[in-house]
Amino acid sequence: MKKRLLSSLIILVFGVILSSCTKSETIISVLIYDANDTYISEMKSDFENQNIYNYSLKIYDCQKSQKIQNDLLIKTINKTDVYYINLVDRDSAGSILLKTREKHIPVIFFNREPSQSYIINSNEAYYVGSDSIDAGKKQAEAFDTTYKQALTNGIDLDTNKDGIISTVVLKGEENHQDSENRTSNSIARLKELGYNLSDVKMYVCNWSNDIAYKYTKKILEENPKVELVLSNNDDMALGMIKYLEEHKLFEPTYAAGEYPPISIVGFDGTVFGQKSIDSGQMLATVLNDAKLQVKVIYDLTNKLLTGYTNILTIDEVEVKNERYFYCPNKVIIKESV
Amino acid sequence: MRKILIQNTLIIFILYVIVLSISLTVFINKNITDTYNSKNKEIASQINYNFNSYFDTIINTSNTTVDKLQKEQSNSSIEDLFELTVNVKTDIKGIALYDNFNNLYVKSSLFSLPDEEELNKLSSQAKLDSSIYIFSTPYGTLSSDSGCYIVREVKYYNVLGTIQTGYLFVDFNFSKIIELSEACDLGENGHIDIVDNQNNVVYSSGDIFLQDKDIIEKTILGETNTTIDSNRYYVNIDTCSSTPWRIAIFSNSNELHNQLVFSIFSMLGLGVLAIAVGFFITFKLSKIISSPLNELSKKMANIEKSHDLVHIKIENNDLDEIKSLTSSFNSMVDQIRSLMEEIYKRQDDLRVSELKSLQNQINPHFLYNTLDSIIYLSETNQNEKSIEMTVALARLFRISISKGKMIIPIKQEIEHANNYLVIQSIRYAGAFEYKFEIDENIGKYSTIKLILQPLIENAIYHGLKNRVDKGLLLIKGYFVEDKICFEIIDNGYGIAEDKLQDILDSFKKHDPGVGVGIVNVYRRLKLYFGDKATLDIISELDEGTTIKILIPREVEMNEKKIII
């Protein structure tokens, strides 16, 4: 009896050792900024659905806290092969990279761009995302196209016809690369295209649908004649639209009924965003191609793990400084949906 | 016995104490450590929160300034903006705007100018990313007027109304940070280090940064424990929001270590104390139990050896069990003693009565009277009678002596009585007649010898000898239930009532002095058979006497029975 017990114990121990030795799977730890964010949660599904290399994917929600992200990093550092990090605090990239450099773990930042110096100075850090400068320009172009289109239908989106487009910006975040770039470039591009913009007021709504909803009253009070709202993302735009709808300010007043009274241009091209365009509420948006970005991230990972050449190239994507993979943006307006 | 008692008790007790001590120590230490660690974590996160809040405030103010800057159209309005901000926000010491070529454009009144090298370094860094703030290293950290620059590339309108790129320098109050650091209670030698991404010190509230640096480099982020200069520290490193810095909090955990050591030592001490007490108690207890027991067993052994039946008394004993043992033993000793005395007495009695009966057997008077009779018969040529008498005498003595045996078959006893009667009837010819009515089946049973003859002698001498007419003597022997009954019946004078009483009284007396035959027989019967034998005298004056003896029916009787 004792002998059997002993031998089965030995077999068990061996089995455990053996099974732990056969490490065939690559473990990817994904630290996302906020699982409640619409765009990010869509991206999360894309990660899960596009896992063609069958990596062992572990996704963690950092709940908008850099501390939580740091703690998760420490917790997972010994069982991670590659990190996909959606940075909470852009300045923390340096510290994070110091930690991952120790273990030679490559890090692919996505969606929230860290400062250049961090990525350049590390040889195992990459960024995949959309080109935010281009994003801003595309927002402007989206408005431009639609404006011109509306004119052909006899509708002037400059509702009070004073030659000035009264503009307001819903900003995602202060000191955020994408936020700043989209904001400043959309305004600059509109000016380039010849539009006369008013004194543009900025409202920081933290990328949030709820906050934008709450601020809308104040925004309307401070800007009663607002004609154009440039939103850094679809969620905030939709928050505003929700308020407008509830307060019955969104009845189309044109005969054709196809253009909303306030031109709202979003960014991301989320499912909700696109629906909103279909139903004629949001004027336009710009696609932040999550699916493409995820594909690029996976392809990049694959190249990294299977040995790589010094210059990485991936189709359809613009590579800057060998580390930045910018996926192109696409304008979405009603016709093209 | 004491050794085993002690050994077993102690082994179990020591094991118990050890297991208890160890598990308690482990448990308590774990609790202490957990409590301490979570307290440290709390403190660390609170400190981090405070720092983060402070920097967030600074950044927010700066952002607002940047936004407002873009709406100002003239230098003076820019200057006013700066002045206002500095006045309102106590955390901001000064603000300045430099142009694209690092020339000072506008500043607030109290702005302390950075040196050229720093200026160039900061603005070139700011140029790379216009959305973030570049942090300088703090200056004046030893004075109370410490400050630090954050720089950001901004857009503004110059005097000509064209938009320009420049650098906004915001000088914020670093003393506040120093105050925050020093206000934290991190224990003796506890301190805070602020480091940048090259692990260089931005600020340290302690003075051992060179040693801190090692652990900071190794850990980068998270928590750990370390020892520097024989001080133990709990270290927590986290990023500081909106800045490229990390905050490393060194909290003195000597107290923890000391507490742990203290708890281990006190557990040890308690354990040793418990064991010592255990030893003491065990020894004491075992002594209390074993020493009276030892004494008791020793004294019992003595009694066994010496056969000296004395009472045992145990000194220094408090145990009831031992007391009761001792008293039981003593009462047993008493019983033995009285039993033995009884034995001696019986033996004595027996010896004496044996002696007596032996004496009786060799009654000289009877002997030479009988011999005289034989001589007379011989001289008178009554040969037949002389032979009969001689033979009877010989047989009588043979049975009397019976090789010294006490027990003889009833058959022989009857024969003995018969021989006696033969002799006496010849001597006292015609004085009486005798008859035996004996159930022959009783013959094979046993009895003590010389019970019939003395009674017959009594009957003859006291009852029949001096009768005028012929006396009658009847000797019966028959079964009665499980007993055998002998009756010696005469029709003599009988026994006077007071004499009878005397006789009966003599039965009860223990002194063997009285040689009265009947008493002798009675005593011997009682000696041998105890209550199983009875002797009854029924007498009527002038009518006769019957003596009835009852003895148990025994085929084989143990001579040695009396000698227990």
Q: What are the tens digits of pLDDT across the range A121-148?
A: 888 899 999 888 899 999 999 999 988 8
- At residue B368, the pLDDT reads 84
pLDDT band at B511 (very low <50, low <70, confident <90, very high): low
A10 in contact with B, Cβ within 8 Å:
no
Å between A171 CA and nearest CA of chain B: 12
**Which residues does chain A have within 8 Å of residue B133's beta carbon, measured at their own beta carbons?**
175
- At residue A314, the pLDDT reads 67
For residues B337 and B343, give the distance between their C-alpha atoms in angstroms, rounded to a whole number.
Answer: 10
Poorest-pLDDT segment among A37-46, A150-159, B171-180: A150-159
Three-state SS for A97? helix
Which residue of chain B has the CA closest to A178? B131
Going by C-alpha positions, the residue among B149, B169, B172, B147 that lies closest to residue B69 is B169
A201 in contact with B, Cβ within 8 Å:
no
For residues B539 and B78, give the distance between their C-alpha atoms in angstroms, rounded to a whole number.
Answer: 165
Chain A residues 134-173 with CB within 8 Å of chain B? none
Dump the DSSP string for A160-211. Answer: T-SS-B-EEEEES-TT-HHHHHHHHHHHHHHHHTT--B---EEEE-TT-HHH
- The beta-strand segments (E) located in B466-526 are 471-480, 483-490
| Mean pLDDT score across all residues of chain B | 84
- At residue B267, the pLDDT reads 85
In a mutagenesis test of the B interface, which of A72, A95, A99 is the best target, namely the one with the most B β-carbons within 10 Å? A95
Q: What percent of chain A has pLDDT over 70?
A: 92
- Which residues are paired to B228 by β-bridges? B231
Q: What are the tens digits of pLDDT across the range A280-312?
A: 888 889 999 899 999 999 988 988 888 766 556
**Which residues does chain A have within 8 Å of residue B154's beta carbon, measured at their own beta carbons?**
none
- At residue B562, the pLDDT reads 46
The answer to whether A99 contacts B220, with C-beta atoms less than 8 Å apart, is: yes
**Which residues does chain A have within 8 Å of residue B131's beta carbon, measured at their own beta carbons?**
175-177, 179-181
Neighbours of B2 (CB within 10 A): 14
In a mutagenesis test of the B interface, which of A87, A175, A206 is the best target, namely the one with the most B β-carbons within 10 Å? A175
Residues of B with CB under 8 A from a CB of A: 45, 48, 59-60, 63, 67, 71, 125, 128-133, 197, 220-222, 238-239, 241-244, 246
Among the partner residues A66, A116, A181, nearest to B241 by beta-carbon distance: A66
Among the partner residues A74, A117, A202, nearest to B67 by beta-carbon distance: A202
Contact A119/A65 with Cβ under 8 angstroms?
Answer: no
- At residue B357, the pLDDT reads 62
Determine the average pLDDT of the residues in B290-303.
85
Å between B67 CA and nearest CA of chain A: 9
Which residue of chain B has the CA closest to A87? B241
The answer to whether B59 contacts A202, with C-beta atoms less than 8 Å apart, is: no
Q: What are the tens digits of pLDDT across the range B128-157?
A: 888 889 999 888 877 888 899 999 999 888
Residue A96 scores a pLDDT above 70: yes
Query: How does DSSP classify residue B442?
Result: G
pLDDT band at A57 (very low <50, low <70, confident <90, very high): very high
According to DSSP H, which parts of B402-514 are helical?
Answer: 410-427, 452-458, 497-508
Dump the DSSP string for A258-311. Answer: -S-SSEEE-SB--HHHHHHHHTTSS-EEEE--HHHHHHHHHHHHHHHHT---SS
| Mean pLDDT score across all residues of chain A | 86
A132 in contact with B, Cβ within 8 Å:
no
Q: What are the tens digits of pLDDT across the range B268-277?
A: 888 888 888 8
- At residue B252, the pLDDT reads 86
The answer to whether A95 contacts B128, with C-beta atoms less than 8 Å apart, is: no
A198 in contact with B, Cβ within 8 Å:
no
**Which residues does chain B have within 8 Å of residue A98's beta carbon, measured at their own beta carbons?**
197, 220-221
For residues B137 and B119, give the distance between their C-alpha atoms in angstroms, rounded to a whole number.
Answer: 12
Contact B65/B155 with Cβ under 8 angstroms?
Answer: no
Query: How does DSSP classify residue A33?
Result: S
A192 in contact with B, Cβ within 8 Å:
no
For residues A211 and A213, give the distance between their C-alpha atoms in angstroms, rounded to a whole number.
Answer: 5
**Which residues does chain B have within 8 Å of residue A70's beta carbon, measured at their own beta carbons?**
221-222, 238-239
Instruction: Encode B329-364: b = buried (16+ Cβ within 10 Å), e = exposed.
Output: beeebeeeeeeeeeeeebeebbeebeebbeebbeee
- At residue B359, the pLDDT reads 59
Among the partner residues A74, A94, A175, nearest to B59 by beta-carbon distance: A175
- At residue A23, the pLDDT reads 59
The yes/no answer to whether this complex scores an ipTM above 0.85 is no
The answer to whether A95 contacts B197, with C-beta atoms less than 8 Å apart, is: yes
Which residue of chain B has the CA closest to A75? B222
Neighbours of A20 (CB within 10 A): 8
For residues B205 and B55, give the distance between their C-alpha atoms in angstroms, rounded to a whole number.
Answer: 18
Global pTM reads 0.65
Contact B538/B483 with Cβ under 8 angstroms?
Answer: no
Name every residue whose Cβ is closer than 8 Å to that of residue B537 and which is 6 or more positions away in sequence: B495, B500, B503, B504, B518, B545, B546, B547, B548
Q: What are the tens digits of pLDDT across the range A67-76?
A: 999 999 999 9
More confident residue, A169 or B314: A169
**Which residues does chain B have within 8 Å of residue A191's beta carbon, measured at their own beta carbons?**
none
**Which residues does chain A have within 8 Å of residue B71's beta carbon, measured at their own beta carbons?**
199
Q: What are the tens digits of pLDDT across the range B81-111?
A: 899 999 998 889 999 999 889 888 888 888 8
Contact A43/A268 with Cβ under 8 angstroms?
Answer: no
Phi, psi of A171 (to 5 degrees): -90, 140
Contact A64/A32 with Cβ under 8 angstroms?
Answer: no
A115 in contact with B, Cβ within 8 Å:
yes
Highest-scoring range by mean pLDDT, A161-165, A179-183, B288-292: A179-183
The answer to whether B239 contacts A70, with C-beta atoms less than 8 Å apart, is: yes
Q: B404: alpha, beta or left, given left = phi > 0 and alpha = psi -120 to 50?
A: left
Contact A273/A285 with Cβ under 8 angstroms?
Answer: yes
Q: What percent of chain B has pLDDT over 90?
A: 15
Among the partner residues B48, B131, B197, nearest to A180 by beta-carbon distance: B131
Determine the average pLDDT of the residues in B67-72.
83
Q: What percent of chain B has pLDDT over 70?
A: 94
Which residue of chain A has the CA closest to B132? A175
- At residue A205, the pLDDT reads 93
Q: Count CB pairs under 8 A between chains A and B.
A: 68
pLDDT band at A336 (very low <50, low <70, confident <90, very high): very low
For chain B, give percent helix, strand, coil, nearest 5.
55, 20, 25
For chain A, give percent helix, strand, coil, nearest 5.
45, 20, 35
Tokens of A19: 């099974």
The answer to whether B241 contacts A89, with C-beta atoms less than 8 Å apart, is: yes
Tokens of B276: 């010592």
**Which residues does chain B have within 8 Å of residue A117's beta carbon, measured at their own beta carbons?**
125, 128-129
**Which residues does chain A have within 8 Å of residue B130's beta carbon, measured at their own beta carbons?**
180
**Which residues does chain B have within 8 Å of residue A177's beta carbon, measured at their own beta carbons?**
129, 131-132
Among the partner residues B45, B128, B239, nearest to A92 by beta-carbon distance: B239
- At residue B164, the pLDDT reads 86
More confident residue, B361 or B249: B249
Q: Sign of torsion, CA B303 B306 B308 B310?
A: negative
Residue B358 scores a pLDDT above 70: no
Which residue of chain A has the CA closest to B153? A175
- At residue B8, the pLDDT reads 82
More confident residue, B301 or B465: B301
Among the partner residues A95, A179, A181, nearest to B239 by beta-carbon distance: A95
Q: B244: alpha, beta or left, given left = phi > 0 and alpha = psi -120 to 50?
A: alpha
Dump the DSSP string for B304-315. Answer: HHH--------S
- At residue B69, the pLDDT reads 86
Neighbours of B273 (CB within 10 A): 12
**Which residues does chain A have within 8 Å of residue B243's beta carbon, measured at their own beta carbons?**
91
Q: What are the tens digits of pLDDT across the range A227-281?
A: 899 999 999 999 999 999 888 777 654 434 467 888 999 999 999 998 888 888 8
Task: List C-alpha distances in Å: A122 to A95, A309, B261.
Answer: 11, 16, 45
pLDDT band at A59 (very low <50, low <70, confident <90, very high): very high
In a mutagenesis test of the B interface, which of A33, A69, A133, A174 is the best target, namely the one with the most B β-carbons within 10 Å? A174
The answer to whether A175 contacts B63, with C-beta atoms less than 8 Å apart, is: yes
Query: How does DSSP classify residue B113?
Result: P
